[in-house]
Amino acid sequence: MDNCIFCKIAAGQIPATIVHEDEDLIAFNDIHPAAPVHMLIIPRKHFDTLSAVGAEHGELLGRMLALASRLAEKAGCAPVLQPDGKLTGGYKTLVNTGPDGGQEVYHLHMHVIGGPKPWR
């Protein structure tokens, strides 16, 4: 897509703080973070929304989720079992879809949000 900012980031035409890239996925820090840790994971292939993804893309979606877990852990957001048996830490994954779902950039992307109580 010629006007897609995320396609341009994936192509290296717009700078971003890249935290992961491989042949199918790229992850980078959000420029307007909602929490101490806020990354976006996008497929290199353009899909406007999650609704545009079919069953044949299940492996790609699974890889996005697995990458979210690894990146959150690397950023220090993995849940930790404390000696008293309580869990601390954690992170949130979020995919906004369509205007009523809060999607602002029409290229499928997953937010990985972490740190102390990142949600508002």
Set 38, 57, 107, 109: catalytic member: 109
CA atoms of 71 and 81, how far apart (whole Å):
19
What DSSP designation does 84 have? T
| Gap between the Cα atoms of 8 and 76, Å rounded | 29
Is 109 a known active-site residue? yes
- Give the alpha-carbon dihedral of 20, 23, 24, 26, to 10 degrees: 20
Which residues participate in catalysis according to the annotation? Answer: 109
